């Protein structure tokens, strides 16, 4: 009962000799017993032991204590323990104050007992002073909606969506492109199993080579897919998010389209096909590749001339050229972000962008995927066979000028392509210029040994220049790591270009209020202990949006995201302790300084103009308190009064 | 007062996630630092109010430390440490103008895994305050 006059009990722990060796615990107890408000003080060998805990509980009852100060180890170690003790004795757990006389006292002044004892007095005096102003703090429960918004329908998002639907949750998955599959769908065969990138079986299937995207995602009654869609805003908090999604018009009704392709046949507009990185053409009404999902055509509004030929031939009247963007409002309990990566466009590096025969690995993947069995890789400039191919590693990675990080999968991609090409054409002259070859995954080393056996040449050094004549080959200058330099001729130069955050990452981080790491990827809450959680409760990240990753790792994380998101949804509720900021509406002048400074958007302005803290969102940092010109907002458990009581106590003369 | 015998009182506002943890780890590592450094726990360095700093001086502190998480994403509360830094900078000027001296206030950034930095910073600051001596302005005089 906080309103009652404080009756403080001080419990001085010896911690064996950890404290008692340098702090005179008897003298400390004696000192504490005389402090203002203290009605009981005792010392004991181990306060955290069962006996010690019982001692505290009994003392609370016998002496009518309504504040408890435990002078022992760091609260980081036992604050929760002793809070539980208070609860069990019928006291509110926030009426506990710990005096850290071990880590911050006895251990720091191990051989100076006088100093340690004096310092322990200051610390206990501060805790007793602060405890006088402690207040009871309760908690409350909020329901959690059993549904998830998944942002991005690449391999990570798809696996997360499937997993959550498997448990029985409603999933809304949004994808900015007209078709799902992300970059993986462009890769052709993918390591380490060399299966088709668009057909990798999800873990929930019987590992048959079912088309993942069509069969599993589209037909799942619990999964609602929104293509051509972007997240516009997100408000609320874990358990109760409100998302606004804007969907661009497909102009073809997915439910009516039967995929007959008559529209494409009559469409007069031809543009480069983005799916093939311009290697092929598509019409203004199109599917980018045969297995694309959803298998409904789309009309590209930017290039369509509205000649209406497609409208005339469509047998199901599925086409509506005048369709407008639509807004979709969703209510979800959790959010999974899986927006993946982009391949870095190495403009200006090694002749890329200037010379058509300098390409990236992603384009090579499309070329390998498109060519028929016996066909050779060709030079994009003139379509003639490329007999000498040089790959350059670490383009835009491990490089201070572009990106300092290792992109992790480019070595494997280069080796995968090299192996495929050499197997198809043993006479091909293929050189890989590398800084290091990094292949840490299981079954990855095999690609290296295979390539060596197949006669792929590995050149350890830095390519300093790529030059091309009008008709002649490309000429590369290489500084060898072993000393000296050499020159190479090549018909085709393939750059193993970095993985960078997807274009929407920055915008999305602002909409979701997520932290980015210095390299621009989404930041996990903790690299080891919370790799999928973020700074916002209820929002999880998986896949390459968190950093470069291969497919196995991406799927690991997606499954992890399923587990993390499922936890609050299975519980159906979250418990929120109310040691959060609180507004005194009578004092609030409605300036909204607090809302502006809050790093979590946890403060909203109520209809009558005063600030209101959303307790489920507030994390209790207290920065809003400092900004309030009217002293109308306080942080419970760290109010000004409580902080100042500690300061006055710690400075008090003995 | 004999200057050599001057034993300063220093309040160190330590954020719970990093600076407080670093101080704990200093003890765990049996590292020592001046006993004049008296730690006050705050959830975040962004919680430290100019009022807290001034009140510490009023209550007899000769120096005040605000210690938060590392810059560039180290803050548990996104950027509370950066807000604290701004406030500390402004406050240093204010302390100069009222005669306490901005040198008596310092902000440090460290992670929970940097006990050596905690020791280095607090020791360095304590030496500085010892050199500066007692606060010239007697704030408590009515």
Question: Is residue B52 in some structural domain?
Answer: yes
Cβ partners under 8 Å of residue B5, min gap 6: none
Q: Pick the residue from chain A with its C-alpha nearest to B77.
A: A621
- Cβ contact A413:A548 at 8 Å: no
In CATH, what number is assigned to the domain containing residue B117? 3.40.50
What was the pLDDT predicted at A496? 98
Chain A residues touching B62 at Cβ < 8 A: none
Residue B71 lies in a domain: yes
Q: What is the pLDDT of residue A215?
A: 60
User: Tokens at residue A410, please?
Assistant: 């480019």
With CA atoms as reference, report the closest residue to B14 among B64, B67, B70: B67
Q: Which of B41, B59, B77 sits opposite A621 (nearest CB)?
A: B77
Report the residue count for chain B.
142
CB-based contacts of A589, cutoff 8 Å, min separation 6: A629, A630, A632
Residue A618 lies in a domain: yes
Q: Is A600's Cβ below 8 Å from some Cβ in B? A: yes
The mean pLDDT value for A560-579 works out to 96
pLDDT of A283 strictly over 80: yes
Distance CA A273, CA B141 (A): 81
Predicted confidence at residue A273, as pLDDT, reads 94
The answer to whether residue A102 is domain-embedded is yes
Mean pLDDT calculated for residue range A111-122? 97
CA dihedral A293, A296, A301, A304 (to 10 degrees): 120
CATH number, domain with residue A517: 3.50.50.60
Task: Please judge whether A623 and B44 are an interchain contact, meaning their C-beta atoms are less than 8 angstroms apart.
Answer: yes
Inter-CA distances, A132 with A3, A101, A511, A581, A646, Å: 10, 19, 42, 20, 10
Same-domain status, A365 and A459: yes
How far apart, in whole angstroms, are the C-alpha atoms of residue A34 and residue A654?
A: 11
Residues A229 and A189 in one domain: yes
Asked, for residue B138, whether it belongs to a domain, the answer is no
Residues A589 and A453 in one domain: no
- Residues whose CB is less than 8 angstroms from the CB of residue A177 and which lie 6 or more positions away in sequence, other chains included: A227, A228
With a cut of 70, say whether residue A108 has pLDDT above it: yes
Domain presence at residue A2: no
Residue A521 lies in a domain: yes
Give the Cα separation of A539 and A541 in Å (integer): 7
Enter the tokens of residue A28. Answer: 């400390």
Residues A156 and A546 sit within 8 Å (Cβ to Cβ) = no
**Is A75 touching B (CB cutoff 8 A)?**
yes
Residue that finishes a domain, picked among A79, A107, A137: A137
Task: Decide if B83 is inside a domain.
Answer: yes
At residue A368, does pLDDT exceed 90? Answer: yes
Residues A319 and A329 in one domain: no
Is position A647 within any domain? no
Q: A474 and A566 share a domain? A: no
Q: Do B52 and A650 touch (CB under 8 A)?
A: no
Q: What is the mean pLDDT of residues A35-55?
A: 97
Range of the domain at A17: 8-137
A149-169 mean pLDDT: 95
For residue A381, count other CB atoms closer than 10 A to its CB.
15
Residue A392 lies in a domain: yes
Q: Is the pLDDT of residue A330 over 70?
A: yes
Rounded to 5°, angle at Cα A100 from A96 and A106: 150
- A455 and A563 in a single domain? The answer is no
Quick one: A370 and A511 in the same domain?
Answer: no
Contact between B83 and A597 using a beta-carbon 8 Å cutoff: yes
As given in the structure block, the two tokens for residue B107 are: 């902000």
Do residues A391 and A523 share a domain? no
Closest-approach residue (CA) in chain B for A518: B72
Verify that A230 and A262 share a domain, yes or no: no
What's the half-sphere exposure (Cβ side, CA atoms, 13 Å) at B118? 33
pLDDT per residue as tens digits for the range A94-104? 999 999 999 99
The pTM of the full predicted model, rounded to 2 decimals, is 0.80
Element (H, E) at B87: helix B80-98
| Structural domains of chain B, count | 1
Residue A643 lies in a domain: no
* pLDDT top residue among A373 and B30: B30
Q: How far is A22 from chain B (nearest CA, A)?
A: 12
Q: Is the pLDDT of residue A203 over 50?
A: no
**Does the structure show a pLDDT above 50 at A366?**
yes
pLDDT tens readout for residues A248-266? 999 999 999 998 999 999 9
Q: What is the pLDDT of residues A594-639, one digit of tens each?
A: 999 999 999 999 998 999 999 989 999 999 999 999 999 999 999 9
Mean pLDDT highest for which of A182-191, A290-299, A382-391, A506-515? A382-391
Greater confidence (A468 vs A437) lies with: A437
Q: Of A70, A79, A122, which Cα lies nearest the Cα of A99?
A: A70
Domain range for residue B109?
8-131
Predicted confidence at residue A520, as pLDDT, reads 92
Determine the Cα–Cα distance for residues A429 and A296; give it in Å rounded to an integer: 42
Where residue A612 sits, what CATH number does that domain have?
3.30.70.20
Asked whether residue A400 falls in the same domain as residue A477, the answer is: yes
* Same domain membership, residue A563 and residue A587: no
> What's the CA gap between B33 and B23, in Å, rounded?
10
Interface predicted TM-score (ipTM): 0.95
Of the candidates B31, B48, B55, the beta carbon closest to that of A108 is on: B31
- Is B85 inside any structural domain? yes
Number of domains in chain A: 5
Residues 622-641 of A with CB under 8 A from B: 622-623, 625-626, 635, 638, 640
E strand residue ranges, A435-502: 457-468, 474-480, 485-490, 492-497, 499-501
Residue A174 included in any domain = yes
CA atoms within 13 A on the CB side of A81: 18
Chain B positions touching A644 (Cβ under 8 A) are: 51-52, 55
pLDDT at A197: 79
Indicate which of A643, A649, A652, A653 best probes the interface with B, i.e. most B CBs within 10 Å of its own CB.
Answer: A643
Neighbours of A77 (CB within 10 A): 15
What are the residues whose beta carbons fall under 8 Å from the beta carbon of A543, sequence distance 6 or more?
A152, A154, A155, A156, A157, A338, A340, A549, A554, A557, A558
Question: Phi, psi (5° rounding) for residue A325?
Answer: -60, 150
Please indicate, yes or no, whether residues A212 and A333 belong to a single structural domain of this protein. Answer: yes
- The answer for A259, left when phi > 0, alpha when psi is -120 to 50, beta otherwise, is left
């Amino acid at each position: 009962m906080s309103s009652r006059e404080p009756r403080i009990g001080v419990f001085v722990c010896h911690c064996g000799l950890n404290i008692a060796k340098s702090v005179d615990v008897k003298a400390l107890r004696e000192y504490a017993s005389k402090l203002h408000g203290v009605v009981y003080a005792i010392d004991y060998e181990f306060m955290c032991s069962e006996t010690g805990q019982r001692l505290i509980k009994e003392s609370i009852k016998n002496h009518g204590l309504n504040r408890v100060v435990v002078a022992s180890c760091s609260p980081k170690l036992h604050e929760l323990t002793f809070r539980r003790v208070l609860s069990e004795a019928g006291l509110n757990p926030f009426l506990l104050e710990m005096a850290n006389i071990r880590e911050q006292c006895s251990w720091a002044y191990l051989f100076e007992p006088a100093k340690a004892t004096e310092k322990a007095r200051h610390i206990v005096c501060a805790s007793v002073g602060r405890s006088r102003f402690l207040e009871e703090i309760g908690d409350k429960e909020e329901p959690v909606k059993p549904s998830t918004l998944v942002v991005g329908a690449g391999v990570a998002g798809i696996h997360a969506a499937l997993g959550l639907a498997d448990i029985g949750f409603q999933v809304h998955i949004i994808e900015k492109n007209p078709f799902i599959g992300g970059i993986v769908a462009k890769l052709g065969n993918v390591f380490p199993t060399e299966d088709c990138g668009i057909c990798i079986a999800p873990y929930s299937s019987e590992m048959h080579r079912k088309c993942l995207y069509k069969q599993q995602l589209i037909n799942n009654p619990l999964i609602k897919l929104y293509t051509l869609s972007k997240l516009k805003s997100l408000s609320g908090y874990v358990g109760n998010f409100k998302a606004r999604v804007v969907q661009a018009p497909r102009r073809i009704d997915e439910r009516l389209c039967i995929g007959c392709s008559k529209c494409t046949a009559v469409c007069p507009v031809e543009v480069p096909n983005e799916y093939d990185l311009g290697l092929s053409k598509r019409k203004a009404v199109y599917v980018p590749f045969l297995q694309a999902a959803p298998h409904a055509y789309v009309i590209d509004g930017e290039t369509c001339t509205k000649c209406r030929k497609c409208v005339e031939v469509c047998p199901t009247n599925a086409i509506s050229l005048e369709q407008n963007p639509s807004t979709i409002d969703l209510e979800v309990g959790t959010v999974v972000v899986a927006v993946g990566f982009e391949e870095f466009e190495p403009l200006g590096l090694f002749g890329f962008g200037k010379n058509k025969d300098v390409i990236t690995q992603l384009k090579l993947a499309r070329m390998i995927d498109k060519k028929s069995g016996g066909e050779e890789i060709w030079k994009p400039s003139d379509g003639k066979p490329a007999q000498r191919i040089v790959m350059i590693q670490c383009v835009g990675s491990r490089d201070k000028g572009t990106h300092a990080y290792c992109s992790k999968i480019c070595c494997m991609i280069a080796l995968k392509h090299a192996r495929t090409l050499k197997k198809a054409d043993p006479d091909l002259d293929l050189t890989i210029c590398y800084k290091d070859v990094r292949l840490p995954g299981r079954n990855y080393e095999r690609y290296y040994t295979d390539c060596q056996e197949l006669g792929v040449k590995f050149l350890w050094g830095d390519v300093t220049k790529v030059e091309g004549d009008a008709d002649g080959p490309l000429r590369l200058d290489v500084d060898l790591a072993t000393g000296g330099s050499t020159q190479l001729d090549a018909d085709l130069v393939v750059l193993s270009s970095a993985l960078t955050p997807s274009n929407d990452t920055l915008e999305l981080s602002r909409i979701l209020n997520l932290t980015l790491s210095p390299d621009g990827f989404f930041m996990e809450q903790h690299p080891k202990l919370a790799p999928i959680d973020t700074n916002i409760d209820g929002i999880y990240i998986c896949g390459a949006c968190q950093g470069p990753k291969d497919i196995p790792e991406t799927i690991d994380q997606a499954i992890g995201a399923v587990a993390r998101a499922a936890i609050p949804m299975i519980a159906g509720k979250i418990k929120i302790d109310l040691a959060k900021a609180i507004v005194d509406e009578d004092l609030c002048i409605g300036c909204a300084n607090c809302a502006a400074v809050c790093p979590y958007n946890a403060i909203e302005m109520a209809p009558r103009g005063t600030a209101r803290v959303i307790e489920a969102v507030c994390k209790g940092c207290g920065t809003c308190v400092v900004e309030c010109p009217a002293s109308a907002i306080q942080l419970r458990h760290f109010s000004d009064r409580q902080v100042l009581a500690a300061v006055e106590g710690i400075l008090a003369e003995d | 007062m004999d200057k050599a015998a001057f034993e300063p009182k220093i309040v160190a506002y330590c954020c719970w996630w990093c600076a407080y943890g670093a101080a704990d780890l200093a003890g765990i590592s049996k590292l020592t630092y001046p006993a004049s450094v008296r730690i006050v726990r705050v959830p975040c360095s962004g919680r430290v109010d100019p009022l807290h700093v001034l009140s510490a001086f009023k209550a007899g502190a000769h120096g005040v430390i605000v210690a938060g998480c590392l810059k560039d994403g180290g803050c548990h509360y996104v950027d509370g440490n950066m807000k604290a830094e701004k406030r500390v900078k402004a406050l240093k000027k204010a302390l100069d103008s009222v005669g306490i001296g901005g040198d008596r206030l310092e902000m440090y950034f460290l992670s929970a895994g940097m006990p050596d930095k905690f020791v280095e910073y607090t020791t360095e600051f304590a030496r500085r305050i010892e050199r500066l001596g007692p606060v010239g302005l007697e704030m408590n005089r009515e």
